[in-house]
Every structure is written in structure tokens, then in C-alpha cells.
Amino acid sequence: MPPLAAPRRHLPRGEDFLLLSPTEQPLAYRQVDRLFATRAIARGAQVLPLPYGAEIAPRYAIGGRALGVEDYIARTQVAGLLVLHEGRIVLERYALGLAEETRWSTMSTVKSMTSTLVGAALQEGAIRSLDDAVSTYLPALRGSAYDAVAIRHLLTMSSGVAWDESYTDRDSHVNRYSKSLGDKVPGGVLALMRGLARIAPPGARFNYNTGDTYVLGCLVSAATGMTLAAYMSRSIWARLGMEFDAYYTLESEGGQEIGGSRAGVALRDFARFGAFLLADGVIGDTRILPPGWAAEAGRPAFALDPSQNSYGATGYGYSWWLDPDGAMVAVGFAGQSLYIHRAARLVIVTLSCWPQPPFDAAYGVDRRAERLAFREAVRAACGA
């Protein structure tokens, strides 16, 4: 006898996560923890208050049209927008089903967060030097293309290991990685990384590689003897006073965290992480990051052609894209970004659902230009 009918929710397949239609994107990005295995990043008992200041109303122009906040949200499929200036929230918006407590997919913005944990491990001595070989901490990668790679090369996307980050090609490395996550294959991602070839000497050239940050996360776990989620909680999340638990996605049930994509974080907690970098990694009287880490992480290891990347960055640091105006920016698939301008004391968090090919052509919006124009408008509105 067949089982009784019962209400069920339809969710997209995890392996299609980078290929979703515009109607599926907001549903999936709000519920990453239902598509993939996850591990909680626990918050602490106290919440760091983010007081509200006078609200700004930035205005910008595109194609001769004068536009404002509501236009920006509609034209660039924004789900969450928050501006923190001088420690006060001056703009906060929610759309596309996002709520204050929703943990939205970080996409690759979590790369910058994971790289920050390297600074924490360096400060406490769990990692000795950024020039240490990766294989010193991860013996499983001895004999692979990663054997001669140093931690610094992982931070700066210059491992020299072959990697294809083509999101529209189902056979690319990043989509093979994505399928392994969707299928929750134990050890599947590390097996993929072990099998990659070397195409350049370590440190010789920049090649954006989500797999490099997976390896970096494995290394932090090995060096600290803790899961990546537990280490993030102990060193930053609980101490800083985050409002909500976050989570890392896992390669499989109970497996290794994915350090480079698909974590879940609430909007205001993104801003708190930005404030942590504005404070150069100091929480209260405790230094979590080495002195000057934020400046070092935001220094260009590689110069970039701004026309050749989705943000318009002119450089790349320790897993941070570098804005032409001097800010460091965590950037993620489909329009996620965490913009941190230390001199201006400014943080801008943007959570989005940018349509992907072939759907994007129907919208007729240059979202990169729109984002940079809105950023300038925010700076002007803040007097920054």
C-alpha cells in the first residue's frame, strides 16, 4: 500500500545551485541549509548593539536617469541592503522574502571570512607563518599539485593549480565541486583537489579558484584542531556579539566545512563582521588578528583589470577584492558583497539575486555599473 499523501516543500536540486532560474534563486538562497549539509557557527550570550542613525537617501544616475534606493533594490534584485557608518546603521532594507533573522547565502563572500580565520590562527600561534607549505598541515595533499603551495598562495588565489570557475559549464571544476556538495559525497571535494594538475608556479599568477579556499578551510581546521565552524565561533562570532547563529555548509553530513562558498549569515551580522575589520580585529580589549592584518589583507597581491571581473576590482589581496576607491570587498556570486572602507568608517552589505545566463540578458541592466554608482551615492550621502 502506498504511503499517505502529506504536504511537502519543493526545493531545487543542490547540484543546480549555480544554474538556477530567477524564480528559484531567492527560494534557494534563503534555504541553503535545506539544500546542503551544514554546521552551526554559534553566537554568544551577548549581542553587539548596532544603533541607528539618521537615515540616508542616496541618489545616483544611470543613463541620464535619476534613481534612488528603491530603484536600486528593484533594478539589481536586492534582497538585503545595509549601510553602517561610524558604527551606526543609516540604511537597512529587506526584500525578496528576506527577514531580519534569515541566514542568506554568503556565496563567495565567505572566502574573505575564512581567510580572516588564518589571521586569527596566526595570532594565536596555531599557524606559524603564511609561507608554510600547505602539505605541512594537510599531509593528504602531499604528492599533489598542492605540495609546493604555501598558505599565502591560497590566500591570494595564486596556487598555480588548474581550476575552471565557469558557472555555466556543467563540466567545469566549480560545477563538479558543486555536484559533489549537492550529492554530499564524503571526501569528494578533497579527492577533486588532489587530482588537479599544476599549470603555473605557485605565486606566479592570479586565478580565481573556489577550491583553493576549500583547501584553506581544511588547513585552518587541521592547524587549530577544531571544526571551522567551532573555530569561527570561538575566535570571532561568539566574542563579537553576533545576533544570530550562522552556518557553514559541509561537503557531506558531518564532514568538512566548505570554506569558500554557501555559508548562511543574517544581514546585520554581515555588518558586524565588517565592523570587526574596521577595528583591525580587536574585540573589546582582546586582539584577535595580528596588528595591521586588515591593512595587509587589503593590500594588492595582484593588480587586476577592472573590466575583467564581476565587481570592477583593481586588485586582489588576502581573499579580498580591492575597490578602486581603496576599500576591501568580499564579493559573491549573484551580487553578494561586503564593502569595507576603513578610512571612511563605512560598511555596505548587499545581498542579491542577480539573474544568471541565459536569463540575465532579458533585464537590460548593467549591474556592475549600477552597484558602483550606488556605492558612490552612499559615500556622498554619508559625507565619506
Secondary structure (DSSP) of 304-337: --GGGSSS--SEE-SS-EE-TTS-EEEEEGGGEE
Confidence of residue 179 (pLDDT cuts 50, 70, 90): confident
Q: Which is higher by pLDDT, 58 or 1?
A: 58
Cα 13 from chain centroid? 21
Question: What pLDDT, in 10s, does the model give residues 68-81?
Answer: 999 999 999 999 99
pLDDT value of position 168: 85
Question: What pLDDT, in 10s, does the model give residues 254-294?
Answer: 999 999 999 999 999 999 999 999 999 999 999 999 999 99
pLDDT value of position 81: 98
Question: What pLDDT, in 10s, does the model give residues 295-317?
Answer: 999 999 999 999 999 899 999 99
In this predicted structure, the answer to whether residue 39 has a pLDDT above a threshold of 90 is yes
Question: What pLDDT, in 10s, does the model give residues 5-31?
Answer: 999 888 898 888 888 999 999 999 999
Domains for the chain: give ranges and CATH numbers. Answer: 14-382 (3.40.710.10)
Question: What pLDDT, in 10s, does the model give residues 99-131?
Answer: 999 999 999 999 999 999 999 999 999 999 999
Question: What pLDDT, in 10s, does the model give residues 121-158?
Answer: 999 999 999 999 999 999 999 999 999 999 999 999 99
Question: What pLDDT, in 10s, does the model give residues 219-254?
Answer: 999 999 999 999 999 999 999 999 999 999 999 999
What stretches of the chain show up as alpha helix (H) in DSSP?
A: 25-29, 32-35, 69-75, 109-124, 134-137, 151-155, 173-183, 188-194, 210-224, 228-232, 238-240, 267-278, 293-297, 367-382
For 267, 313, 381, the CA distances from 308, given in Å and listed in that order, are 28, 9, 29
Question: What pLDDT, in 10s, does the model give residues 367-378?
Answer: 999 999 999 999
* Cα(271)–Cα(265) distance, integer angstroms: 10
In this predicted structure, the answer to whether residue 206 has a pLDDT above a threshold of 90 is yes
In this predicted structure, the answer to whether residue 177 has a pLDDT above a threshold of 90 is no
Residue type present at position 147: D
Summary mean pLDDT of the chain: 95
pLDDT value of position 1: 85
